[in-house]
Amino acid sequence: MNTNSLLRSSSVMALGTIVSRITGLIRGLLLVAVLGTTLLGDTFNVANTMPNILYNLIIGGALTAVFVPQIVRSASDKDGGSAFISRLVTATSVFLGGLVLLAVLFAPLLVRIFATSYIGHPAFHVTTLFMRFCLPQIFFMGLFALLAQVANAKDRFGPMMWAPVLNNVIAIVVFGWYYQKQITHTVENIPTSEILALGLGSTLGYVAQAFILIPVISKTNIKIRPRFDWRDPELKKSIHLASWTFLFAAISQLSYLITVNLSTSSAVKAIKDGVTTGVGFTPYNNAQLIFMLPHSIITISVVTALLPTLSKFAHEKKNGLIHDQLVKAMRLVGIVTVPSAIAFLFFGPLITRTLFFGISNADANYLGYVLCAFGLGLIPMSANLIALRGLNAYENVKLQVLSNLAMNIVAALISVSCAIWLPHRFVTVGLAAALSLSYFVGSWVTIRLLRRYEIRIHIPEVLGFYFKLALLSLVMALPIFFIQSHIPGGNTLRLILVLSMCGFGYLGLAKVAKVEEVGSVLEIFTRKSTT
């Protein structure tokens, strides 16, 4: 894929992702305003996160990492891949349907595992109810992901990024309805009818997100029909590769299990100590939502457009071209992720005070501290995802497991240390920092593993480029950080002025420093796509 093609595909996805993330942020802000940042908010967030945990654990990684190369190759079949894709969709749907039934049945057990501190507390019942209404999301997540990968393999990148907008809009309507009622509940008195409305309202968005892709697929000449002849060799190969992906995901979710347990436990203990500000899983979850914005807008857009090309190069054994594409992608995303990381680190509390309404300044500031801790990991997280796509192209999930294992061991060790040594109210901040630090290890390991395929990314060269960008960002951010309290206006005006001064100053300095990639990234967001 040449630079123009990569930029064209990325621009379509970037625009869709921007709208999706903005509506997703509004959705998150409304939820915080409705349920708060303490125990009641935690019950919904733990329950609504469970579909993602189970989906990613069981099949999510396979759908994105394993099946794309298989779908790309099936395009050379006489029917254009219709038979293989039909088998894949049928088998996946049957599997996910069974998974949903089991998960709903064993919801109380899931709460016991992921929120141990809730046992014997009213939060246990509320979380279980929320979870049973949210768990059907798993089926529609899988259907959406699979249909989206089919569209991507046919070079239809845009719909995948735009479909979540509909999901978010539906959730915004539901949460907005709840918010306008101006009712304050706790885990002790929230009625079942409102648990039902919030849970099913969230799930309805995923239903719409999946089904809106069906007409898109029909336009690619792919005819999907129920097919139960699952003895196809290619399908068996996909399932075999997916088994390694399961191990990869299991390691990730084990680390996440630790995070959820430690954050919910710290919230319960903090409340017993009389601390009701910030603490818990909700601040972690919502700060991560903001943290993921630049990563989702630029990194996901670039790597999604890149993966089919990398798979083609791997099939043709063009290792040199894969190296060039990976380095190009790392430099492109660094233009956005490096200054974003600096902004989170210096202006985290200002960002959260501006965005989150319906909560106290103390709660908002705590969210900001968590965001600062997350900011440390934005750069290595994006670099790691790009490097992983190199391994995806070779369908080598075993090496990805090694990288993920190293990263999650580091995250788990630091997280447990934070829970032991930090005061309860600061545990959530420590958990965010633990994840950030683990990405440094993960990205280094993944880049080293690429050498198995003679892809030798020169780490000092990439780090030197990132250091240059960080220096340019710091030149603008440091003086503004010290004068921000003297900037007139409220939080909103202050944030706009701060980010504008930092952003335009950074772009100006980058131009003076002759950073060519800045122009390329700007083109992603400004060019009109013909796709």
Specify the number of domains making up the chain: 1
What is the pLDDT, as a whole number, of residue 377? 93
Tally of CB atoms within 10 A around 417: 12
Span 246-251, average pLDDT: 67
Percent over 70 (pLDDT), the chain: 83
In a domain, 506, yes or no: yes
pLDDT tens for 483-508 read 988 888 788 999 999 999 999 999 99
> What type of residue is 294?
P
> Token digits for 158?
């845009």
- Residue 489's domain comprises 3-526
Residue 531 within any structural domain of the chain: no
Please classify residue 211 by burial: count the beta carbons closer than 10 Å to its beta carbon, then call 0-12 exposed, 13-18 middle and 19+ buried: middle
* Backbone CA torsion sign across 293, 294, 296, 297: positive
pLDDT at 354 (0 to 100): 93
Tokens linked to 210? 């999946």
Per-residue pLDDT, averaged over 174-181, amounts to: 84
* 246 confidence band (pLDDT: 50, 70, 90): low
pLDDT at 530 over 50: no
Indicate whether 269 belongs to any domain. yes
Where is mean pLDDT largest: 227-231, 357-361, 432-436? Answer: 432-436
Q: How confident is the model at residue 528 (pLDDT cuts 50, 70, 90)?
A: very low
The confidence band for 75, taking pLDDT boundaries of 50, 70 and 90, is low
Residue 485 makes CB contacts below 8 A (sequence gap 6+) with: none
Position 125 in a domain = yes
The larger pLDDT score, comparing residue 157 to residue 266, is at: 266
> Which helix (DSSP H) or strand (DSSP E) does residue 284 occupy?
helix 281-294
Of residues 6 and 367, the one with the higher pLDDT is 367
Residue 206 pLDDT more than 80?
yes
Question: Are 391 and 322 contacting, i.e. CB atoms less than 8 angstroms apart?
Answer: no
Residue 170's Cα: distance from chain center in Å?
A: 20
Q: Which of 38-47, 159-168, 240-249, 312-321 has the lowest mean pLDDT?
A: 240-249
Higher pLDDT, 248 or 94: 94
- Eight-state DSSP code of residue 38: S
Residue at 15 is within a domain: yes
**The pLDDT of residue 350:** 95
- Which of residues 151 and 509 earns the better pLDDT score? 509
Query: Amino acid identity, residue 428?
Result: T
pLDDT, residue 526, reads 58
The pLDDT mean for the chain works out to 83
Residues contacting 438, CB < 8 A, separation 6+: 255, 377, 407, 408, 410, 411, 414
Q: Assess contact for 455 and 396: CB atoms under 8 A.
A: no
**Mean pLDDT, rounded, for 390-409:** 81
pLDDT category at 41 given cuts 50, 70, 90 is confident
pTM score: 0.77
Token pair of 180, please? 């306008």
* Length of the chain (residues): 531
336-358 pLDDT per residue, tens: 999 999 999 999 999 999 998 77
